[in-house]
Structure 1
């Protein structure tokens, strides 16, 4: 079988309950869960040579995390200091599926795999290296040609489970962060400097951080102005989005 909060993404999500009865309710529950994890608005100001898209593609994220192993991390030149955190992604992916296999309310519940799943769960619940020797119960996204149709169909069904998909999205976000850190560690002179950072928490606390490089930067005033404008627009859009979403959820709940 890849900030410290990365290691607890699955454990915090073992509160699934019964499967929703409609796609709308699935979406509302997923949205409510996502809002529950929003604790702060963070705005960073940096200059980059190119802006790349970070679109979430479930199959791609699943495939990238599925193949993670110690050997694979060496092959793709992952910095040694990040290896355990990449492996943690793989553990959590496996754990997310196991939790659905043993949940009677899950569409992925499989009574024939209960014994193996519960055995694996005991080991996967501990973040040590023992889980790496377990045979995976996940489906290979790149199967052998003889079994390609069946395996592809199973992966497709798995990626349509909204509980699993929500976890996969979280793991994908963590992997993007790790990929950026790996690039920085392997190419120390090729990463953008964050000149200013502002974090606004829901409890009203505001944290500002500035890079020392900005003190002597010839465009200091322009950078700070851009950052302040970003704070104003970001905060306005953030609260507007929260208000619209919460109003929408309340109306749907009342109508049901």
Structure 2
């Protein structure tokens, strides 16, 4: 009895991306970064201390997710601060809803219910302590660059709001007796490439004892940020130009080989 023949050796080939595909993906990512950098926003806030903690997306998300009116009321949070806290959480909800309706997003959902039919007390945000499906949805959400940018900004505002709340608790003040304002941003300036410039100032800044100094600091921040912004745009434009030049390389001139036939030599 002859032993069975060994199975034929199968060779596994891994498809390598073509240079054209790699270049196309690189250009697409540059386009997205370029469009994200077409607007400069400068915010000036006055806080008691600067939090030195690093930005950890999941921790910041959990803190914002837990915000609700019932817990804030039980913690004796002033009503005007409650409105600001809940507004921060609403910003994350709106960003999440926008990603669910964006066809190019990994979170795109065609069967999404319109926001008009949702109760304002029900949050569509995925629960960080929920089931496996919600955890997977949260991982996709924290991997989105636009949502991370929004999360970082909202997290910084919450840190400033926490400091203001602690200050009120230390002073033993109430919304009726304290002179502090729930406004977190005293001055805001938005510049766009089309020449649009929007300046927004908090009403409390007009009566602030250091309003002149705050406005001077804000103007200095605008000048410094504008220079950095222009440098970033120049860097991105250089990358885009370099990528397009790399797609159409110049042909090398062909070299013509010349063969010479030597006369035969006769040995003696």
**TMscore range, shorter length:** 0.5 to 0.7
Question: Could you say if the C-alpha distance between residues 92 and 201 of structure 1 is closer, same or farther in structure 2, counting changes exceeding 3 Å?
Answer: closer
Between 245-254 and 176-185, report the one with greater CA deviation. 245-254
Q: Distance in 1 between matches of 2:191 and 2:109?
A: 42
**Displacement after TM superposition at 1:169 (Å):** 2.2
Are 1:166 and 2:146 matched, yes or no?
yes
The answer to whether 1:74 aligns with 2:73 is yes
Change (3 A) 1:249 1:89: farther
Quick one: distance in 2 between partners of 1:254 and 1:77? 62
Contact 1:100–1:106 (Cα < 8 Å) also in 2: yes
Structure possessing the higher radius of gyration over alpha carbons: 2
Q: What is the rounded CA distance, in whole Å, between the counterparts of 2:190 and 2:95 in structure 1?
A: 31
Q: CA contact under 8 A between 2:43 and 2:189: conserved in structure 1?
A: yes
Q: Tell me the distance in 1 between the aligned counterparts of 2:38 and 2:117.
A: 29
- Which residue in the other structure is 2:113 paired with? 118
Instruction: Please say if residues 56 and 169 of structure 1, whose CA atoms lie closer than 8 Å, have aligned partners that are also in contact.
Output: no
What RMSD, in angstroms, separates the aligned Cα atoms of the two structures?
4.8
Q: What SS class does the counterpart of residue 139 from structure 1 fall into?
A: coil
Please name the residue that 1:59 is paired with.
Answer: 58
Partner in structure 2 of residue 37 of structure 1: 39
Q: Please report how far the alpha carbon of residue 137 of structure 1 lies from its aligned counterpart in structure 2 after TM superposition.
A: 4.0
- Cα distance in 2, alignment partners of residues 73 and 180 from structure 1: 16
Residue 180, structure 1, aligned to residue 174, structure 2: no
CA-CA distance at 1:155 after TM superposition:
1.9
Aligned residue pair count = 203
1:141 aligns with 2:128: yes
- SS state at 2:126 partner: coil
Does the 8 A contact of 2:57 with 2:142 survive in 1? yes
Structure-1 residue corresponding to 2:88: 89
TM-score, normalised by the number of residues in structure 2: 0.52
- Write 1 or 2 for the structure with the bigger share of helix: 1
Match of 2:137 among 118, 131, 154: 154
Question: Gaps spanning 5+ residues in structure 1: where?
Answer: 1-20, 125-129, 192-196, 221-225
Q: TM-score, normalised by structure 1?
A: 0.54
Instruction: Please list the CA deviations of residues 92-139 of structure 1 after superposition, one character each: whole Å capped at 9, or x if unmatched.
Output: 43343344444444332345xx1xx224x2246xxxxx421x3x4432
Report the secondary structure of 1:89's partner residue.
helix
